[in-house]
Structure 1
């Protein structure tokens, strides 16, 4: 019972931190769920306390020993064969490093993204190499890392993008990265 209450308190603290750093989202705020994996993007930048938003380029280490690094967004123009069609995309290098003592199941990793409170979709553009997680069924052994590049549809003009990352469905903590894209 105390564990459930602690989880609720941590979740509420995370939402408050998100509202302060990225602004209060609109009432219709949503997210677009998608799978993810990781790469060496942002090594050397430390994460702040749980519940606080991180800047792109920062690392976050979960109590399980899993460390997530999300690099700064790189703007690109999606090809004609990309889905969904968008005037612009923002691509992120993500690295997951398993410094824990147990195997990490990559299939549980999810990322949601929103621009100004509106959910955005992951861009799949095989022409440019944006294919999402191709090894979602892969297990990451202790001491190993996985790299993935994810891309999202964003408006033509620069905007503020919020990525929320959850390492597994059983993890109560959601880490939020927020910044210009």
Structure 2
């Protein structure tokens, strides 16, 4: 190979390496792409959020619910319904709680209806599991955890409703999966995960 050919080959190889390096600069780090959920806007707890609200700000970023969204994120379903789940509030249930549990995690869940028709709140299914074992919802009126009190309520298009639900937790911190389905008879779901 002549010196001129070797120089030309070196330039081509350098050009390819430079193009690959520039391409790598434009990629997102693992876990930061469009499939990663972003936290919802800070504000009042969902239990106090009832009424008209603007569409959620992070709907497009909250995708890939089957892989698990972080607590504090939101997800928009194809129907236009959006749900957000707060970070867990860990508490010790009172003696009047049912079922009895030494430790529990409460979540503020905000439901925003950006669809074309009213949404019946009783259609929302919320299940929690730790290590693939379902854990029970805790009712504790003393602490203010009464479940969904307006289950037969319709959420008109453009309105938001907040509910607070509590679930039994292990005595030691563990990973909890909260699965929300807008219709319990449908496979469509959003899964939120975190340590409680």
CA distance in 2, matches of 1:125, 1:55: 25
User: What pairs with 1:21-32 in structure 2 (closer than 5 Å)?
Assistant: none
TM-score, length basis structure 1: 0.74
Report deviation, 1:44: 5.1
Q: Tell me the equivalent position of 2:94.
A: 79
Report deviation, 1:52: 2.6
Which of 156, 173, 181 does residue 188 from structure 2 map onto?
Answer: 173
Deviations 1:91-138 (A, max 9, x none): 000000001111101111001111112110000000010000000000
CA distance in 2, matches of 1:96, 1:172: 18
Higher radius of gyration, 1 or 2 = 2
Q: Tell me the equivalent position of 1:52.
A: 67
Structure 1: state its 5+ residue gaps: 1-37
Q: Whose RCO is larger (CA < 8 A, sep 6+)?
A: 1
Report deviation, 1:170: 4.5
More off after superposition, 171-180 vs 153-162: 171-180
Which runs of at least 4 in structure 1 moved beyond 4 Å after TM superposition?
Answer: none
Matched, 1:153 2:168: yes
More off after superposition, 49-58 vs 103-112: 49-58
CA distance in 1, matches of 2:172, 2:66: 29
CA distance in 2, matches of 1:56, 1:134: 23
Deviations 1:2-26 (A, max 9, x none): xxxxxxxxxxxxxxxxxxxxxxxxx
Q: Tell me the equivalent position of 1:119.
A: 134
TM-score, length basis structure 2: 0.68
Q: 1:88 to 1:49 in 2, by over 3 A?
A: same
SS in 1 for 2:128: strand
Matched, 1:132 2:139: no
CA distance in 1, matches of 2:109, 2:137: 14
Report deviation, 1:172: 2.8
Count of residues in correspondence between the two structures:
142
